[in-house]
A and B are shown apart, each in its own frame.
Chain A
Amino acid sequence: MEFALITFLNGLGYGFLLFMLSSGLTLIYSMMGVPNFAHASFYMLGAYVAYSIAGVLGFWPALLIAPVVVGVAGALVEHYGLRIVHRYGHVPELLFTFGLSYLVVELVQLVWGRSPVPYRIPPSLDGTLFTLYSTAFPVYRGFMLLVATSMLAAIWLLLRHTRIGLTIQAALTHPQMAEALGHNVPRVFMLVFGGGCALAALAGVIGGNAFVTEPGMAASVGSIIFVVVVVGGLGSLAGAFITSILIGLMQTFAVALDYSAAGLLAALGIAAPAAGPLAPVLRLTLAQVAPVLPYLLLVAMLIVRPKGLMGKREG
């Protein structure tokens, strides 16, 4: 019970972090029809910029400033890069963001070096929030959950209940009509792109010190967020939310469980083959399989329901 609750909370934290990343990606995807392959790079930039700001001003200003800085950078990328490539079609747009992800990694290594930087949890958030039975739940995990939930609520309120949100939704689904009604659609696109990058950066600010801030951090989440977007259904925020939580819980539980198929067979009283082609597969524990679980989920989803959990259209 204790194990299940703590693992559940940890999985929820990781899932919320994934959602912060993929919500921005989902918005950008439904806007351009093109996945932003540099999205995880903006997550990494968020962590590094926050590390630099936190060294001078402290963590709390960094939490506010870093997403703004990265969001502005994202808006500039949209204005001076993507908009120019846009007229050549979708593939060059996609390739542009792909090339950008190469450049950002090099840039980060150039500015901050090739080894991990000591970006730490602030002392004010270092400690135990509550103790469940005998396991301590850190304050920072609770803080991550809080930030992610308030961000989720803020996006929802913004998109559903404000005039800006209505304009954004109109520009996403019917750009020509929105333009004809006098809205500056290119500027809306720039805002959404910058906003999506800022969301990714916010995830980086609070994820960078919970995990580790190093030049490989973009590559480590880069593919998982695409799994989230595809499995959740293209362009569906609700689908992305459900899938993020699902993957977060699945991976956190799998890492903590040390069961294998061979063990299951032994429990059923069947002797597993010690050698032969199947033996290595049967010996694998759930903990070892954990890193590939999101991709297996992707494969399973493609077989069962190719348009994704909440998807409405075929890609």
Chain B
Amino acid sequence: MKRSLLPWLCFALALLAAPLVFPQSGSLSLLSQMGTMVLLCLSYNMLLGEGGMLSFGHAVYSGLGAFGAIHLMNRIGDGSLPFAFPITLVPLAGGVVGALCGVAFGYLTTRRAGTTFSMITLGLVELVSACALMFPELFGGEGGISGNRVVGEPVLGISYGPQLQVYYLIAAWLLVCAIAIHAIRHTPLGRILNAVRDNPERAAFIGYDPQRVRYLALILSAFFAGVSGGLSAINFEIVSAEYVGALRSGAILLFTFIGGAAYFYGPIIGGVVGVLFASLLSAYTQAWQFYLGAFFILIVMCLPGGLAKLVDDLARVLRARAMDAGLARLLAGRAAAGTLLLGGVVLATEMAYQLSLGSLADSGEGMAPVRLFGLDFDVHSVAAWGLSAALCAAGVAAIARWRAPWSAAWSRAWKRVEAAEQAGRESGAP
């Protein structure tokens, strides 16, 4: 009991302390975005990780929840509600809207499983986003619907005017929902969902209708997605048709998978990394989508467990005290080689983007140099391209050179990990 409580305490402390460590207004809004994205990825992983359902339309539920929340905020604002409704509970309304959409759409999508499910969700997201543009009264057309979160009397001095209060609202909802999502994994529904993911025929044979289990899981997941949508409606005070679109759905999928779908904390890593990609990197470079796509493919090909798998493996090696000097040296060498390769690829990509798309700005004359790590690189110079090629070659050569020793050292370490964990189980179990 104590061990299962500790990670939650750490998570709560991290949520509490984050704005104290990064108090600038820019980082505060970034943290708020991360909170909503992490919740969205956690809800998505109820489908992908727990249920094996690869949905391409998860943004539909969060987006429609956001629309519900913003309409509710506007009703609160113009006083047309017959009862008082605090802004603190608006995300709950978003969740209810999301769950209702889950009831409606999930009935259609969960009739089929596997790749067909994926294709149907893709059709669904197109249907909803096209409909969103068709009814401007409800969805605000291209411009979206704007609202105001500072409405009603402040409760206990909380008006949601300052961003810090919004952040803590998001953090509180994230913590509550994360605990709920974690708890659902251990209910009979969560267990049967895993069984349906792994072997639907056997789950059906012992008396559970796989279609029904998937449907229930989708409704629950849509609820949490709707909560996240309601939170982002409060955060941004505007919701547009992009919120229900295919691009956002794809981003959720990318982030969750990059984080790692097989671990509970994978989507948390994925949400944080994804927002960093989308917000920070897009401020520095035009090529951020290229990097995101390439990073995603790299993860799919080399690390199908996602970043969480990397964290988990390292933690297990450290806990079993299997990290000896040789392994650490090889690890550092691989990291250095990876950095060289990354530097070369980034340099080449930035120069290519500058050559191709930067020329639109200044029509090819006196093209601005690429500025990386405080150095200027001329995109037309052979030296810069040569440097990039040399960095790539050095990185690839180093990785290839250490490949055999690395896998030998790693499997040695892994044997020790397994032995240590086996011993731990035997001494721990009565």
**Interface, chain A (partner B; CB < 8 A):** 33-35, 81, 84-85, 88, 90-92, 94-96, 98-100, 102-103, 105-107, 109-111, 113-114, 219, 222-223, 226-227, 229-230, 234, 280-281, 284, 288-289, 291-292, 294-296, 298-299, 302-303, 306, 314-315
Contact = CB atoms under 8 A, between A and B. Distances in A.
B130 A103 contact: no
Q: Is the interface of A mostly helix, strand, loop or mixed?
A: helix
Interface in B292-319: 292-294, 296-297, 300-301, 304
Contacts of A299: 108, 123, 127
Contacts of B253: 95, 98
Contacts, number: 124
Contacts of B111: 302, 306
A234 B116 contact: yes
B353 to A, nearest CB: 7
Most chain B CB within 10 A, of A281, A288, A299, is at A299
A314 B357 contact: no
A96 B134 contact: no
Contact of A94 (B54, B130, B135): B54
Nearest to A112: B356
A192 B127 CA distance: 31
Nearest to B109: A302
Contacts of B353: 110
Given A94-B118, A280-B137, 12 more contacts: A33-B115, A92-B304, A95-B54, A95-B253, A96-B297, A96-B300, A99-B296, A102-B254, A110-B353, A227-B119, A299-B127, A315-B117
A106 B293 contact: yes
Given A91-B54, A315-B113, A315-B115, A280 B135 contact: yes
Nearest to A219: B246
Interface string B99-139: 00000000010011111111110111111001100110110
Contacts of B368: none
Contact of A90 (B115, B126, B134, B294): B115
Given A84-B301, A103-B293, A111 B356 contact: yes
Interface residues of B, number: 46
Contacts of B292: 102
A195 B117 CA distance: 26
A88 B304 CA distance: 8
Nearest to A110: B356
Contact of A284 (B114, B134, B287, B300): B134
A172 B114 CA distance: 19
A292 B54 contact: no
Nearest to A107: B290
A223 B246 contact: yes
A295 B127 contact: yes
A69 B389 CA distance: 26
B290 A106 contact: yes
A281 to B, nearest CB: 8
Interface string B345-376: 00000001100110010000000000000000
